Chain A
Amino acid sequence: MCGIVGLMVKSAGDRGSLGPLMAPMFDCMADRGPDSAGLAVFGAAVDAPLRRFSLFVPDDAFDWPKLLDAFRRQTGQQAELNAAINHAVLVSAIEPAALRNWLAECDPSPHLLSVGRHIDVYKDMGHPSDISRRYGFASMSGTHCVGHTRMATESAVSPAHAHPFTAGENFCLVHNGSLSNPYMLRRKLESHGLHFETDNDTEAACRFIEWRMQQGQSLDEALQTAFKELDGFYTLLIATENQLTLVRDAFACKPAVVAETDQYVAISSEFRSLAHLPDVANANIFEPLPEEIYSWKL
């Protein structure tokens, strides 16, 4: 069992409500996944050629200013860095591949959680409510977000195994369920030169769908391919820079419920985590059908 949540606020003037509305959804779904958790938040783009890079080091006392200083000296690139304990968001014009190479030379080597002009990612081990408090989820603003509370069933509990998983830029995915053919997908993708960071089944789904998009498919087309190729149980919630997309497998035995009003679209594993939302009594509330693609765009 795991919990998934997603929220998109529709009005540009309402971006500040994203965190306050989402944090109770996230806390409530802690019951479904108490071992680790994560959140991806999408906001206004930084100006090109800048990108946002979410970094993680498993050390609460990590010296982020020292890392920033070394980055500036060794790469010759300008950068800003906002640190939150063991996470930091680096904003720089450095190319992602160059940053990866530079991070690999660091000791310790920070994990690169996400890349993109819109996305920040936080994920760690521990109770989801503690994680939400640590990184201040309730005070975050933005356009949309996806969160996940994990009860691990198929691979280790670690920050890297927590969701959301990311691939490419401004693309992330959370998953409730389990896949039976992640290694088959993985071998296929590795033969095309893709690199995996964990042995987690969701990472295989995430990289598979993003790879199909790299190959020229739209997200909807990539998901139609995924319906044929992914074997197992899944409710998947995907976010890109301008949309949220929700799908369930053919058996639809992993839950999801959607509540939509003029103000927001909220998605959760269970209605009880949506019960606090404003005007939810008058929301359009529905359960997604199997193998139907539901998307909401900014």
Chain B
Amino acid sequence: METVSGAAVITADGSGVELDLARMSVRELNQYLHSELPRSGVRHVSILHPNGMHSLAVGLDADVDVDILGHAGYFIAGMNKQARVTIHGSVGWSVAENIMSGVVRVKGNASECAAASGHGGLVIVEGNASSRCGISMKGCDIVVGGSVGHVSAFMAQAGRLVVCGDAGAGLGDSLYEAVIYVRGKIHGLGADAREEPLTDADTAGLSELLGRAGFGYSPSEFKRIGSARSLYHWNSEANQHY
């Protein structure tokens, strides 16, 4: 065992490290993850005592597994690249916002704006996600085991949002080219979102995504929601009614 960064304890074989937030600050944690970790050969990081703290494990760019052992706060694993981050609890606002690649898995629930603006990678919420899940997503994939709140996938540009439970009102409002799949009840579609038939490509993609996320549902249970593309061009005769 050796100690680095004050409170990081490396396991005997050098492949794993424990970082205890009861003994180090969030800034020290993230500085370690950004600067020392990529050079260290460490492949697995456990973060202890997150206690709802914000901005944990943001900006990672390393081929590493990170386990956050408890409930965490806002902006967890934001801007993630490569890393596979698992939160063993629930998270606050904007988990995995602007994710670029890698996998972020929330074992509990996620508050609003999960995976907001995500460009790539996969975000899995095993419980429910709150409002605005996948808002402005730009190419990431999101799989929610439970339900999502209102105005999810608002202005979503690319990528896939899979909801195994129900979806709140205003789903897919002002949708661009992202696609939404919902297994349960939809409490209302937003402007320009419409139900479309599932294609073979949808079924294959859903099957692969559900498999990666670890949910045993059949793709045929899902409805596909896409953009009617009627907002793409200004319609002067619509008189502001859409």
Binding site for B on A (CB under 8 A): 251-253, 255, 257, 270-276, 281, 285-287, 289-290
Contact = CB atoms under 8 A, between A and B. Distances in A.
On chain B, which size bracket covers the interface?
A: 10 to 19
Contacts of B73: 270-272
B93 interface: yes
Given A255-B111, A290-B150, A274 B131 contact: no
B52 interface: yes
Contacts of B112: 252-253
A271 B54 contact: no
Interface string B92-111: 11000000000000000101
Contacts of A285: 71, 90
A255 B93 contact: yes
Given A255-B92, A272-B54, A287 B150 contact: no
By secondary structure, the B interface counts as: loop
B52 A287 contact: no
B52 A272 contact: yes
Given A255-B111, A285-B71, A270 B52 contact: yes
B130 interface: yes
Contacts of B51: 272, 275-276
Contact of A252 (B70, B90, B131): B131
24 contacts: A251-B131, A252-B112, A255-B92, A255-B111, A257-B92, A257-B111, A270-B52, A270-B73, A270-B74, A270-B92, A271-B71, A272-B51, A272-B52, A272-B53, A272-B54, A273-B52, A275-B51, A275-B71, A281-B70, A285-B71, A286-B109, A287-B130, A289-B149, A290-B150
Interface of B: 51-54, 70-71, 73-74, 90, 92-93, 109, 111-112, 130-131, 149-150
A40 B52 CA distance: 25
B136 to A, nearest CB: 15
A13 to B, nearest CB: 28
Nearest to A273: B52
Nearest to A256: B111
A253 B149 CA distance: 12
B90 A271 contact: yes
A245 to B, nearest CB: 21
Nearest to A275: B51
Nearest to A269: B92
B93 A287 contact: no
Contacts of A272: 51-54, 73
